[in-house]
Amino acid sequence: MSPGTRKSAAGPRKAVPRAPKATRALLTVDVLTLFPGYFEGPFNTSLLKRAKDKGLVDLRLRDIRDWTHDKHHTADDVPYGGGAGMVMKVEPLDECLKQVKGRRKVRTYYLSPQGRPLTNDLAMRLAGEKAFLLLCGHYEGVDERVLATRVDEEISLGDFVLTGGEPAAAALVDAVARMVPGVVGDPRSVIRDSFYEGLLDYPHYTRPRVYQGQEVPEILLSGDHRKIERWRRREALGNTYRKRPDLLAKAALTDEDRKVLEELQKEPRP
Active-site residues, by number, are 113, 140, 178, 193
Residue environment code for 63-91, b if the CB has 16+ CB neighbours within 10 A, otherwise e? bbbbbbeeeebebbeeeeeeeeeebbbbe
The residues, ordered by sequence, that sit 6+ positions from 87 with a Cβ below 8 Å of its Cβ are 76, 77, 78, 79, 139, 140, 141, 142, 143
Length of the chain: 270
Judge whether 181 and 187 are in contact, CB under 8 Å: yes
Q: What's the one-letter identity of residue 110?
A: Y
**What is the three-class DSSP state of 262?**
helix
Please give the Cα distance from 93 to 29 (Å, whole number): 17
